[in-house]
Amino acid sequence: MFCSSNRSPLLRIVWLCLFFGPASAPLLAQQTRAPLPTPTAGEAVDEAAMNAVYEQVKTPFKYGIVLRGENGNAVDCPGVFRHGSRWYMTYIVMNRVGYETRLAASPDLLHWETLGTTLAFQKNGWDAWQAAGYPALQDPKFGGSYRLEKYAGSYWMSYLGGALQGYETDPLAIGMARTAAPDKALPWSRLPSNPVLHRDQEDARAFEKVTLYKSNVIRDPRESLGYPFVMFYNGKSRSGERIGMAVSRDMVSWQRFGDGPVIENGTAAAAGISGDPQVVRIGGLWVMFYFGAFWKPGAFDTFACSRDLVRWTRWTGQDLVAPSESWDRKYAHKPWVVRHQGVVYHFYCAVGDEGRVIALATSRDLRTK
C-alpha cells in the first residue's frame, strides 16, 4: 500500500489509524511543513584525506562469528558501546514473527554474552510486531570513550517499528525510547508521541515513501546545521534505499533536513541499497560507515566523509568488509566500527552457511594461532 501526496487529511488519518493506531493520528497536525532547506554544501573531501581515513579504519583480518541467535533465530544490526567497565552490544533478533532488540555484554569485544531483551513485541499499536533499536548519542570520537551521553536525564535509543508481522514488512517507521540503565536487560520506555518519523508525514521525501529503516542519532556540539541532534537513516522507495537526514532540538520532535538523500549510489532508476549508517568523528572529518548492496555485486561495508554533515564524499576504493568466508559468502554488511587500544573492531551482519549472525573483522590479526 502506497500513500499519495494528494490524499485528503481525513484519509491520511484513517491510514495512520490502520497502520500505527489511533494514538498516532494527531501527529499529522505536526507535519504540515516542508523539509528544512539544504544550506550551501561545503567542499568535497580530497583524495588524500579519503585515503588517510581508509588507512585508519580498514579491517583486513576476519576474526569470525562472535554472536549467534538463540534457537537458530537470525540476528542483525550490531550497535556497540561502553558503559562502566564493560562493552555492550544492542542487536536485533528475528523472533519468528518480527524484530525484537536484545542486549549482550563483553569484557574484551571478542566474547559476548546475551543478557536479555530491551525492546519486545507490544502486540498492539504502530510497533506491535517490530522493534529494532540502535544506541543514540554515543561519543562520536573514533578511538574515544564510546560511552552514551545522557540528555534530559536519560540515555536514548532510536528504533524502527512496525505493526505487521514478517521480515521487514512495510510500512516501518522510526520511534525513540529512553532508559536510566543502558547496561541492564530491562524494557526501554518508548515515547508516547511515537513514531517520530514515518512515510505518510507531509515532509516525507521521495526516497522514503515506502518505509524507513535503521537510524543513527549523533549530537553535533557545534550545531553546524542549527540543531544539536542529527539523525541519519535509510529510507526505501520503489527504486531502492538511500540515506537521509533529520534534525531535532529535544530528541522528541524531528524534522527532515534537505530535499533529498545525502548518500545515494547506483542510478536513479536502480539505486540498490545504501543503508545502516554509523557516524563518527576522525580529526576534522565526519565519517559515515554504511553498507551497500546491489549497485555492485553482493553486500559489503564502505564509508563516506564530510566536513559539514551536508556534502558527503563516497569512498570508491576497496570495501572495508566484503564476502570472503563460508559464513559471510552471501552478505557481509551493516557495520558498527570502534577503535580501542589501537585496534579497529568492525562488527557486521554475516549471512552464509551459518545463517544470519554477527561477525567481526579487525585491523590486527587477533585470531588464536
Q: What is the CATH number of the domain that holds 34?
A: 2.115.10
Query: With bands split at pLDDT 50, 70 and 90, how would you rate the model's confidence at 5?
Result: very low
Higher pLDDT, 231 or 13: 231
- pLDDT value, residue 41: 66
- What span, in angstroms and rounded, lies between the C-alpha atoms of 276 and 262? 13
Q: What is the mean pLDDT of residues 145-157?
A: 98
In a domain, 20, yes or no: yes
* pLDDT for position 158: 98
pLDDT value of residue 42: 74
Mean pLDDT of all residues in 127-147: 98
Q: Are 212 and 198 in contact (CB under 8 A)?
A: yes
Q: Is residue 317 part of a domain?
A: no
User: 264's torsion region: left (phi>0), alpha (psi -120 to 50) or beta?
Assistant: beta
Confidence check: pLDDT of 2 > 70 = no
Residue 43: is its pLDDT beyond 50? yes
Q: What does DSSP assign to residue 320?
A: S
23, part of any domain: yes
Please spell the DSSP secondary structure of 165-207, one letter per residue: -SSSPSP-EEEEEEES-TTS-SPPEEPTT--SB-TTSTT--GG
Sign (positive/negative) of CA torsion 303, 307, 308, 312?
negative
Quote the pLDDT of residue 12.
38
Domain span at residue 33? 9-54+76-279+291-299
Burial state string for 163-179 with b = 16 or more CB within 10 A and e = fewer than 16: beeeebeebbbbbbbbb
Q: Helix, strand, coil: what percent of the chain each, to 5?
A: 10, 45, 45
User: pLDDT band at 40, cuts 50/70/90?
Assistant: low
Q: How many distinct structural domains can be found in the chain?
A: 1
Flag whether 328 is in a domain.
no
Q: How confident is the model at residue 35 (pLDDT cuts 50, 70, 90)?
A: confident
Could you read off the pLDDT of 81-120 as tens digits, one per residue?
999 999 999 999 998 899 999 999 999 999 999 999 999 9
DSSP H or E segment with residue 100: strand 99-106
Residue at 330 is within a domain: no
The answer to the question of residue 346 being in a domain is no
191-227 pLDDT, tens digit per residue, is 999 999 999 999 999 999 999 999 999 999 999 999 9
- The answer to whether residue 128 is domain-embedded is yes
**Residue 368 has what pLDDT?**
74
What residues form DSSP beta bridges with 251?
A: none
102 in any annotated domain = yes
Tell me, what DSSP letter sits at residue 327?
A: T
Lowest-confidence pick of 38-42, 61-65, 169-173: 38-42
The string of pLDDT tens digits covering residues 138-149 is: 999 999 999 999
Band of residue 33 on the pLDDT scale cut at 50, 70, 90: low
Higher-confidence position of 116 and 368: 116
- Please check the confidence at residue 15 and state whether its pLDDT lies above 80: no
Q: β-strand 74-83 against 86-94: which pairing, if any?
A: antiparallel
